Amino acid sequence: MTKLKEEFKQKWLTALRSGEYKQCTGHLELDGGYCCLGVALKVQYPDAHPELHHAFLYEDELPAMEDAIEWWTEEPELNAQIKNPVVMIEGIDEDGDKALVPRHLSELNDDENYTFAQIADLIEAQL
């Protein structure tokens, strides 16, 4: 499993738990709200334009930011795989049985209604 760089991880956890960021869904940043990944980018690049945040997650190339991933993970070669990290949560598997199932952080934020505090707990324990 991917491990985040400890310094970045601690800044992200602090921000998610701070109460400073209003949570939103479906967007990295919208009307003063953020998804958990939007908070990560805001923590690392507080003055970056939202379009750059979008490019980080959805484009192969980052203009003038080829080294952007270096703050994110201990394994920069996994760039494409960790833009939206996966954690394991209790859920229902393909056979309808209770099991640990993989979920992207964005799914927890947008679809599963996890709070920033709940997401932070998973990041702390698994990433």
DSSP line for 18-57: SS-SEE-SSSSEETTEE-HHHHHHHHH-TT--HHHHHHHH
pLDDT for 55-76, tens place per residue?
Answer: 555 555 443 334 444 555 555 5
pLDDT for 29-53, tens place per residue?
Answer: 888 899 998 898 888 878 766 665 5
- The model scores a pTM over 0.85: no
